[in-house]
Amino acid sequence: MDSVATKSSWDTELYEAKHNFVWKFGAGVVELLDPKPGERILDLGCGTGQLTAKIAESGAQVTGLDASPEMIGQARQNFPGLTFVLGNGTEMPFRSEFDAVFSNAALHWMTDAERVAGRIAVALRPGGRLVVEFGGKGNIAHILHAIHTVLPRFNDGAAIPAARTYFPSIAEYGPLLEAAGLEVRTAWLFDRRTPLEGANGMENWIRQFKWYYFESLPRDRREPALAATIEVLRPHLWDGDHWAADYRRLRIVAVKC
């Protein structure tokens, strides 16, 4: 299983149509990156390339990397003038090539976080910076609780699939970066309740990001289990008009020593 996006495949049409908040919120992380003309920057877990293109507008030379063939294929269609590479975060071949590594909403899919941090450090030039935002400790707690509450009703006692995401605290992730040779300069862990589009917003979100839990069920039980999960979530994440995801984000700036 790859480390940038641990789903076996991505529905890029659903991703771009219903989940564009991923890169819209990421615009603030690009501002924090503050790319400069001529800098070489790696966009790690670039998805369909919107933020790669945003960084490129600064005049920086950007390489987008993602482990999903679907994402990379769509990124190349979206922005044919930019460089996109299919690759795994734990096996990046880059050595002292980049002035900065940027990542938005991707590192939580890279569950071998220690190895990824090491490859990031190797990819950076001395003094190069890491600017990232991803899911932090407590991210989507209501959603995960609902899934773990509902699935046992439908799986005949089978084990619930292991999580394919990593949501660390500052205390967990900071030392991991330091051990890789990256000095943490700033770190924030904050709540960001995120609106989902349309009356089916939660259903679409689960199908996009957490459907692997339901794929463990017999086919005829998947839709009833999804409907039951949504009902468990309704008192917490539905305001009568819109769904929201209970996001918590970890944002970090670090520098290679």
Q: What pLDDT is attached to residue 190?
A: 96
Q: Which band of pLDDT confidence, cut at 50, 70 and 90, is reported for residue 56?
A: very high
Mean pLDDT of 79-104: 97
> In angstroms, rounded to a whole number, what is the distance separating the alpha carbons of residues 76 and 80?
5
pTM above 0.85, yes or no: yes
Q: What pLDDT is attached to residue 21?
A: 53
Mean pLDDT of 20-39: 82
Judge whether 86 lies within some domain: yes
Element at 183 (helix H, strand E): strand 182-196
> In angstroms, rounded to a whole number, what is the distance separating the alpha carbons of residues 139 and 246?
7
Judge whether 202 lies within some domain: no
Judge whether 118 lies within some domain: yes
Q: Which amino acid is at 183?
A: E
**Which of 134, 129, 92, 133 is closest to 3 using CA atoms?**
92
Judge whether 179 lies within some domain: yes
Judge whether 230 lies within some domain: no
Q: What pLDDT is attached to residue 189?
A: 98
Q: How many domains does the chain have?
A: 1
- Where do we find the tokens 């992730």? 173
Average pLDDT, the chain: 91
**Which of 217, 214, 46, 71 is closest to 143 using CA atoms?**
214
Task: Give the structural domain span for 88.
Answer: 12-138+165-197+245-256
pLDDT digits (tens, 9 = 90+) for 113-169: 999 999 999 999 999 999 999 999 999 999 999 999 999 999 998 999 999 999 999
Q: Which band of pLDDT confidence, cut at 50, 70 and 90, is reported for residue 27?
A: confident
**Which of 26, 63, 57, 46 is closest to 251 using CA atoms?**
26
Judge whether 240 lies within some domain: no
Phi, psi angle pair for 209, to nearest 5°: -110, -20
∠ CA 35-20-119 to the nearest 5 degrees?
A: 50
- Where do we find the tokens 């190895």? 115
Specify which residues 185 forms β-bridges with. none
Mean pLDDT of 57-76: 95
Q: What pLDDT is attached to residue 1?
A: 28
User: CATH number for the domain including 85?
Assistant: 3.40.50.150
> In angstroms, rounded to a whole number, what is the distance separating the alpha carbons of residues 212 and 255?
35
Judge whether 49 lies within some domain: yes
Q: For residue 17, is pLDDT > 50?
A: no
SS3 28: helix
Q: What pLDDT is attached to residue 19?
A: 44
Q: For residue 203, is pLDDT > 70?
A: yes
How many CB atoms are closer than 10 A to CB 148?
Answer: 13
